[in-house]
Amino acid sequence: MTELVARNYWWPGVTKEVERYIDRCNACQRYKNQSKAPVGKLIPNAIPEKLWSYISADFITKLPLAQGYDTILVVYNCFSKMVYFIATTEKHQQKNLQSCFKIIYGSYIDFQKASY
């Protein structure tokens, strides 16, 4: 970009000023070319064979306090396609993870075999 300006204009510090302008320009940052390599081929997830063999879990945190809870544990069962939402607190989210699953599943899940 500096070369385009330097073809027609020149003043002391033109290169640094043009580079600084480009770094701060909102449109330039949004539309500039990506210098990263293209992403590789996607690999599909395995098809679950039984209930709770593949699950996905995530926390929604930093929510306003409601009835003493400020975090939601979202659990997605890939076999049944059911989504479970469990209210919890942010400071207890790690400690209560197995307890939250017990509420849904009825017994403890073997976390070594479960896929996340």
Number of domains in the chain: 2
Q: Are residues 50 and 27 in the same domain?
A: no
**Sign (positive or negative) of CA dihedral 38, 44, 45, 46:** negative
pTM of the model: 0.51
Q: Are residues 8 and 49 in the same domain?
A: no
d(CA 17, CA 59): 45
Per-residue pLDDT band at 1 (split at 50, 70, 90): low
The domain containing residue 67 runs over which residues? 44-116
* Across 55-69, average pLDDT: 89
Report whether 63 contacts 70 (CB < 8 A): yes
Q: Are residues 69 and 17 in the same domain?
A: no
Q: Are residues 115 and 70 in the same domain?
A: yes
To the nearest whole percent, how much of the chain has pLDDT over 90?
A: 5
What's the whole-number average pLDDT of the chain?
A: 78
Instruction: Give the pLDDT score at 4.
Output: 81
Report the amino acid identity of residue 72. Answer: I
d(CA 83, CA 102): 15
d(CA 36, CA 52): 37
